[in-house]
Structures are given as structure tokens and as C-alpha cells.
Amino acid sequence: MARNVVDDPSEDVVANARNDRAQKRGPFAGIILFLRQVMLELRKVVTPTRKELVSFTIVVLVFVVIMMALVSGLDFGFSALVNFLFGDPTIAG
């Protein structure tokens, strides 16, 4: 199971961002601040274990197969309905 990481309270994050924004900065300081914040957020990322990764992959693949079957069924159904209502265009009459 993935380890729990306690995130900073959102009020503190907002307050820190406002303080950083309020300070006068040069043109490259904003880029540096952004990169620093990105690195701080990336440190919070938790890598899933192999077991979790396999189970997540299976769940996604099963969901995709179910959705493909649903969309295919609707496609065939609507196609049959249109052919019933307007006739089959492949039959020359």
C-alpha cells in the first residue's frame, strides 16, 4: 500500500503563495519561483507499488473494454434503427 503523506494545509499554501507574489521580483524570479513550487509538489508524489500498478492497469483495461462494448452496441443499434427507418442504402431498388 502507498505510504501516507501529510500535505500542508491549503491555507498555509495560499498564504505562502500570496507572500511570494507580493514581494518585488525580477523577470526571472517568477520562473524560478514556479520551478521551486513544481519541485516541492513533485516531492509529494507517491509512486505506486508494483501490485497497485498492476491492479490499476487491470481496472483501466476492464473499463475500456466495457466502454468499447457499450459504444459498439449503441453504434450497431442506431445503425440498425437508421436502416429500418430509411432503408438499406446497399440495396439498389
Q: Give the largest Cα separation in the chain, rounded.
A: 79
Residues 20 and 55 in one domain: no
Q: What is the pLDDT of residues 16-55, one digit of tens each?
A: 777 766 666 777 888 888 899 999 999 999 999 999 999 9
Distance of CA 53 to the CA centre of its chain: 16
Residues 3 and 34 in one domain: yes
Residues 85 and 69 in one domain: yes
Structural domains of the chain, count: 2
Residues 43 and 53 in one domain: no
Q: What is the pLDDT of residues 57-79, one digit of tens each?
A: 999 999 999 999 999 999 999 99
pTM of the model: 0.53
Reduced 3-state DSSP string for the chain = CCCCCCCCCHHHHHHHHHHHHHCCCCCCHHHHHHHHHHHHHHHCCCCCCHHHHHHHHHHHHHHHHHHHHHHHHHHHHHHHHHHHHHCCCCCCC
Structural domain of 81: 48-93
Residues 41 and 71 in one domain: no
Residues 78 and 62 in one domain: yes
Residues 64 and 85 in one domain: yes
